[in-house]
């Protein structure tokens, strides 16, 4: 096996001391720092390597320990009739490690997710952006790190139900992650020249001056200065390419601090962030990514994709249609959009690229099919909507099927027309015998899929557990296939696994940190009563058509900022009551809500799902956003159809 796993490519630069990341040498602005290596810098670099290695060890151990716990739980329950009981409460720890330590590792590798619209177009901004990014990240880490001390103290009295563990122990990775962020930010700033630093500071002061002026103007105009400045700060941080998570957290913390709310404010920020990223359902995401890497590395994906290519390779956009169908089926199992993308995306990404498929198109198709999958039962969003409103979950499930089919057909149509040039390569004619061989080679992959599907539909494993099962099967297959090939020693397999686990942590950390930051924004909006004002304003609308028009435009934007679920919790009940009072069918509007907010999650430039998908398939976000335009238009058409044609939802 000559191909290197995505993870093992990283390994070579992460485990071997000679290639460890050097301070400043891996900044995402592409400016290589070429200062002469002094003795001080050498010592600094070796200290960073040791630090980085320790953090890697932590994330790798967390991931595999959690895997062992989940597998032990369902094997114990289903085979021996005795569940672990404490697995869920303990899962907070690895999730917290993957989020906060993983995000720090991602930052050190220049992989924090940011918006590059301005920095790519305005050279003056690009010149100062790296220092602004590092300084704002440093401020973020210091604020959150300091706030986490009283937070960790305040949960000292709180324990978990079964094991009686103190919440403080489970939550301490947030503090560790912030320390790591501080270390990396300082190291990155330490290798900047004085003039770079000075220009960066000037830019930061300029931002503060603009904020001060805006404050003055707002006061004079009788507008609340705090919301205005918070929004401006958010935009400024995004414009200079600061990590999106940093922008969310700093802008909302500033809002909370300046709007003079009662209580020990700063502890609230880590409380909210920790809560947002430690729900058990999120565990499926790292496991499905790891499973995808393993299936890819073990050659299973190759068999599957080759077989699919035999079947549909001659159809225009054939392999992309395979993704669409896979996502439809997979979303019928998992209930979580990002888990769907993780599972399908990581499994096919490398094979597709090797077959000349465009990564940008793959990312686009994955993202929009994830929106489609949101209304395929089961769906976490639908269950939550059903449990906070009077709507029947069963009717929502049935009502969501046809809209998903409509969206699927729209996606297939766009793929068909945008794939014209992609598949004009000559495809060698494959004989019957070769096809049969390919089918046989695909059998192990079908077996894995069969075991997972069977496990979930029979009720023997939950979707989260199925993700762990997929990893376990993937590991088994990698070990077996390698033993047969005698290409790699166990040490090499171990090193590859290490690299994969670090990649998983980097990927999960970047996305989870945004989810955490967005949760602070959502908290600030609720405490600031913004939703009540929105609702009052909506009360002035008396036309069903106008209201729905507003919804199909506003829901994606709101969903993009508030990251789906919080938006659903806050806006679901009031919007539904307005809708039904205007005569819109509740189930129909429920589906509009789910698709609209899901659309937002995958909307460029800051939708978490969109950024996540780009990372999963290793595609450049801006190129993806261009490729996505026709797809987004199609989804929008579908959303409008669901909003204005009740039959789409209600006929089944």
Residue 619 CB, nearest approach to another protein (Å): 32
Q: Which is nearer to another protein, 232 or 576 (CB)?
A: 576
**512 neighbors 94 (Cβ within 8 angstroms):** no
Q: Residue 262, interface with another protein (CB under 8 A)?
A: yes
From the list another protein, Na ion, none, pick the one residue 456 interacts with, judged by a Cβ distance below 5 to 8 Å according to partner type.
another protein
Site string for another protein, 509-528 (x = CB under 8 A): --------------x--xx-
Residue 449 CB, nearest approach to another protein (Å): 17
Q: Which is nearer to Na ion, 108 or 471 (CB)?
A: 471
Instruction: Give the three-state DSSP class for 489.
Output: coil
Using CB under 5 A, which of the segments 87-95, 105-113, 313-321, 613-621 binds Na ion?
87-95
Using CB under 5 A, which of the segments 141-149, 289-297, 329-337, 357-365 binds Na ion?
329-337
Which residue minimizes CB distance to Na ion?
331
Q: Residue 268, interface with another protein (CB under 8 A)?
A: yes
Q: Residue 83, interface with another protein (CB under 8 A)?
A: yes
Using CB under 8 A, which of the segments 10-18, 40-48, 151-159, 190-198 binds another protein?
151-159
Q: Which is nearer to Na ion, 211 or 370 (CB)?
A: 370
DSSP 8-state symbol, 17: G
**168 neighbors 156 (Cβ within 8 angstroms):** yes
Residue from 34, 38, 195, 387 touching another protein (CB under 8 A): that is 387
Q: Scan residues 167-226 and list those touching another protein (CB under 8 A).
A: 167
- CA angle 434/437/440 to nearest 5° reads 155
Residues 6+ apart with CB under 8 A from 486: none
Instruction: Give the three-state DSSP class for 166.
Output: strand
From the list another protein, Na ion, none, pick the one residue 544 interacts with, judged by a Cβ distance below 5 to 8 Å according to partner type.
none
Q: Residue 389, interface with another protein (CB under 8 A)?
A: yes
Q: Residue 379, interface with Na ion (CB under 5 A)?
A: yes
Distance from C-alpha of 378 to C-alpha of 226, rounded to nearest angstrom: 41
Q: Which is nearer to another protein, 193 or 581 (CB)?
A: 581
Residue from 216, 224, 394, 450 touching another protein (CB under 8 A): that is 394
Distance from C-alpha of 565 to C-alpha of 347, rounded to nearest angstrom: 26
Place of tokens 């151990």: 61
From the list another protein, Na ion, none, pick the one residue 130 interacts with, judged by a Cβ distance below 5 to 8 Å according to partner type.
none
From the list another protein, Na ion, none, pick the one residue 331 interacts with, judged by a Cβ distance below 5 to 8 Å according to partner type.
Na ion
Q: Residue 331, interface with Na ion (CB under 5 A)?
A: yes
Total of chain residues touching another protein, rule CB under 8 A: 66
Distance from C-alpha of 41 to C-alpha of 422, rounded to nearest angstrom: 48
Peptide bond into 32 cis (omega under 30): no
Query: In 355-392, which residue ranges form alpha helices assigned H by DSSP?
Result: 359-373, 380-388
Torsion of CA 136, 137, 140, 142, to 10 degrees: -110
Q: Residue 264, interface with another protein (CB under 8 A)?
A: yes
Please give the structure tokens belonging to residue 331.
Answer: 């979303």
From the list another protein, Na ion, none, pick the one residue 437 interacts with, judged by a Cβ distance below 5 to 8 Å according to partner type.
none
Please give the structure tokens belonging to residue 651.
Answer: 């006929």
Site string for another protein, 439-458 (x = CB under 8 A): -----------------xxx
Total of chain residues touching Na ion, rule CB under 5 A: 7
Using CB under 5 A, which of the segments 150-158, 359-367, 368-376, 536-544 binds Na ion?
368-376
DSSP 8-state symbol, 620: -
Q: Residue 81, interface with another protein (CB under 8 A)?
A: yes
Distance from C-alpha of 233 to C-alpha of 550, rounded to nearest angstrom: 27
Three-state SS across 106-140? HHHCCCCCCCCCCCCCCHHHHHHHHHHHHHHHHHH
Distance from C-alpha of 397 to C-alpha of 476, rounded to nearest angstrom: 36
Element (H, E) at 461: none
Residue from 87, 175, 310, 496 touching Na ion (CB under 5 A): that is 87
Residue 559 CB, nearest approach to another protein (Å): 15
Place of tokens 């539909």: 457
Distance from C-alpha of 595 to C-alpha of 2, rounded to nearest angstrom: 43
Q: Which is nearer to another protein, 172 or 265 (CB)?
A: 265
CA distances (Å), 275 to each of 186, 335, 406, 512, in order?
Answer: 28, 20, 36, 11
Q: At what angle do helices 393-418 and 318-334 cross, to 10 degrees?
A: 170
Using CB under 8 A, which of the segments 7-15, 211-219, 530-538, 542-550 binds another protein?
530-538
Residue 439 CB, nearest approach to another protein (Å): 30
Q: Residue 376, interface with Na ion (CB under 5 A)?
A: yes
**360 neighbors 319 (Cβ within 8 angstroms):** no
Burial class (CB in 10 A: 0-12, 13-18, 19+), 376: buried
Q: Residue 90, interface with another protein (CB under 8 A)?
A: no
Torsion of CA 103, 105, 111, 112, to 10 degrees: 30
Residue 638 CB, nearest approach to Na ion (Å): 16
For the beta carbon of residue 18, count every other beta carbon within 10 angstroms. Answer: 7
Residue from 173, 177, 292, 386 touching another protein (CB under 8 A): that is 386
How many helices (H) and strands (E) in the chain?
29, 0
From the list Na ion, another protein, none, pick the one residue 570 interacts with, judged by a Cβ distance below 5 to 8 Å according to partner type.
another protein
Burial class (CB in 10 A: 0-12, 13-18, 19+), 486: exposed
Residue from 420, 489, 532, 647 touching another protein (CB under 8 A): that is 532
Residues in the chain: 652
Q: Residue 570, interface with another protein (CB under 8 A)?
A: yes
Site string for Na ion, 35-74 (x = CB under 5 A): --------------------------------------x-
Can you say whether the dihedral through the CA atoms of 37, 38, 42, 44 is positive or negative?
negative
Q: Which is nearer to another protein, 247 or 461 (CB)?
A: 461
Binding site for Na ion (CB under 5 A): 73, 83, 87, 331, 373, 376, 379
Residues binding another protein (CB under 8 A): 77, 81-83, 85-86, 88-89, 154-155, 157-162, 164, 167, 261-265, 267-268, 271-272, 275, 279-281, 335, 378, 380, 383-384, 386-389, 392-394, 456-462, 523, 526-527, 529, 531-532, 535, 566, 569-574, 576-577
């Amino acid at each position: 096996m000559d191909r290197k796993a995505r993870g093992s490519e990283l390994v070579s630069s992460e485990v071997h001391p000679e290639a460890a990341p050097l301070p400043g040498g891996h900044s995402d602005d592409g400016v290589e720092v070429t200062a002469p290596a002094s003795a001080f810098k050498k010592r600094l670099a070796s200290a960073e390597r040791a630090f980085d290695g320790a953090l890697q060890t932590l994330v790798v151990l967390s991931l595999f320990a959690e895997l062992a716990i989940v597998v032990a739980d369902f094997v114990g329950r289903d085979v021996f009739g005795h569940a672990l009981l404490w697995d869920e409460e303990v899962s907070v720890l690895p999730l917290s490690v993957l989020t906060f330590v993983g995000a720090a590792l991602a930052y050190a590798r220049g992989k924090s997710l940011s918006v590059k619209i301005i920095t790519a177009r305005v050279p003056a901004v690009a010149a100062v952006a790296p220092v602004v990014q590092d300084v704002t990240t440093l401020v973020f880490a210091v604020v959150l790190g300091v706030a986490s001390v009283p937070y960790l103290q305040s949960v000292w009295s709180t324990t978990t139900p079964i094991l009686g563990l103190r919440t403080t122990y489970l939550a301490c990775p947030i503090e560790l992650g912030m320390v790591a962020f501080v270390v990396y930010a300082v190291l990155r700033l330490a290798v900047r020249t004085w003039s770079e630093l000075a220009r960066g500071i000037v830019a930061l002061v300029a931002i503060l001056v603009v904020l001060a002026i805006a404050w003055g103007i707002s006061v004079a105009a009788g507008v609340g200065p705090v919301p205005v400045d918070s929004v401006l700060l958010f935009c400024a941080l995004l414009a200079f390419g600061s990590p999106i998570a940093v922008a969310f957290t700093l802008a909302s913390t500033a809002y909370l601090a300046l709007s003079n709310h009662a209580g020990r404010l700063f502890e609230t920020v880590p409380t909210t962030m920790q809560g947002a990223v430690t729900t058990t359902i999120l565990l499926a995401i790292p496991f499905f990514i790891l499973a995808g890497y393993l299936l890819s590395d073990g050659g299973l994906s190759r068999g599957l994709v080759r077989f699919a290519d035999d079947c549909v390779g001659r159809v225009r956009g054939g392999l992309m249609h395979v993704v669409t169908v896979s996502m439809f089926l997979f979303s019928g199992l998992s209930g979580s959009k990002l888990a769907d993308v993780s599972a399908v995306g990581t499994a096919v990404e490398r094979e597709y690229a090797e077959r000349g498929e465009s990564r940008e198109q793959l990312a686009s198709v994955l993202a929009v099919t994830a929106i489609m999958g949101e209304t395929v039962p089961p769906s976490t969003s639908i269950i939550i909507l059903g449990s906070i409103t009077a709507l029947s979950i069963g009717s929502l499930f049935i009502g969501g099927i046809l809209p998903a089919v409509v969206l699927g057909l729209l996606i297939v149509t766009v793929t068909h027309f945008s794939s014209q040039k992609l598949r004009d390569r000559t495809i060698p004619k494959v004989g019957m015998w070769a096809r049969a061989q390919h089918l046989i080679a695909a059998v192990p992959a079908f077996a894995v899929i069969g075991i997972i599907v069977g496990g979930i539909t029979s009720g023997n494993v939950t979707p989260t557990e199925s993700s762990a099962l997929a990893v376990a099967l993937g590991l088994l297959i990698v070990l077996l296939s390698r033993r047969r090939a005698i290409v790699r020693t166990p040490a090499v397999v171990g090193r590859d696994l290490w690299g994969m686990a670090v990649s998983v942590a980097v990927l999960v950390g970047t996305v989870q940190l945004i989810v955490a930051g967005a949760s602070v924004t959502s908290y600030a909006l609720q405490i600031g009563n913004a939703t009540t004002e929105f609702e009052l304003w909506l009360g002035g609308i008396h036309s069903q058509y106008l209201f729905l028009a507003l919804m199909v435009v506003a829901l994606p934007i709101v969903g993009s900022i508030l990251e789906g679920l919080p938006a659903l919790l806050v806006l679901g009940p009031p919007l539904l009551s307005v809708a039904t009072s205007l005569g819109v069918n509740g189930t129909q509007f429920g589906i509009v809500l789910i698709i609209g907010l899901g659309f937002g999650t995958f909307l460029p430039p800051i939708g978490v799902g969109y950024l996540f998908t780009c990372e999963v398939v290793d595609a450049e976000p801006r190129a993806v956003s261009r490729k996505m335009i026709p797809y987004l238009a199609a989804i929008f058409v579908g959303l409008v159809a669901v909003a204005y044609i009740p039959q789409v939802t209600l006929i089944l």
